[in-house]
Amino acid sequence: MMIASWDICQNSGENCQLEVAHLIKTDGNVGATFHLEPNHNPRSGEPAQTWFALTQSGGESVSLDECDCQLEVFRGGDRSQAIATPTLTAISAEGYEDIPGAEVIFPEAGVYDLVLTGSPQNSANFEPFSLSYNVTVRPGRATAEVTSETETRETATSETQAVASGEGVDETTGLVFLGVWGAIAVAGVVVLGGWAWKRLRSQ
């Protein structure tokens, strides 16, 4: 299936891209099946395994030993400087052997570009290539927990400040305070009145 899909893509023009079970792109006479775990749905701050099954036109595979490959990670739309250059190692996945693979950790949620470049080495014979892949990263569990904890702390701080300044006290609480102080005032008047009456009688 990969070879057939690659041939269709390769015949349609340069830098072709197909959306199949995995993402297939071509540049020159090299095609790459790209996959990113978990299920092309990476999360920030969590390791994501990526691999590239390289194939020449005609179906001959290209191993990492035959390719001087480099993987760079850019923030989406900004190719001025790579934020990471993960080390590529030879791995086996889904029937492919000795293909370039790397572990990538995206620092935060957002859109990123993965750029794989390569040129032949060790007597390999293929054209140098450059392939880019757009990746959308969702917030990781750790990020979500920190955000939730921060929001909880901010809410608690706001409520504390409101009580300290007299704001946020409901009407029922206010009436209770007024009732208590009113009762104290009435009791004070009664005591003073009784004391004055006794003074008058003693005279």
Domain ranges for the chain, please list them: 2-144, 174-198
CA distances 15 to 9, 23, 34, 145, 181, Å, are 9, 12, 14, 40, 81
Give Cβ neighbours of residue 13 (< 8 Å, ≥ 6 apart): none
Q: Which of 29-38, 51-60, 118-127, 189-198 has the lowest mean pLDDT?
A: 189-198
Specify the fold of 2-144: Immunoglobulin-like (2.60.40)
- 50: which strand partners? 36, 102
pLDDT score, position 191: 56
Confidence of residue 16 (pLDDT cuts 50, 70, 90): very low
pLDDT score, position 197: 52
pLDDT above 90 (res 27): yes
Amino acid at 99: I
What would the pLDDT profile of 130-176 be if each residue is shown by its tens digit? Answer: 999 999 999 998 655 554 555 666 666 666 665 566 555 455 545 44
**Among residues 71, 163, 77, which one has the least CA distance to residue 118?**
71
**Alpha helices, DSSP H, located in the chain:** 2-12, 141-164, 171-202
Burial of 139 (0-12, 13-18, 19+ CB in 10 A): middle
Q: Which residue has the higher pLDDT, 187 or 14?
A: 187
Amino acid at 78: D
Instruction: Count other C-beta atoms under 10 Å from residue 46's C-beta.
Output: 15
What would the pLDDT profile of 96-124 be if each residue is shown by its tens digit? Answer: 999 999 999 999 999 999 999 999 999 99
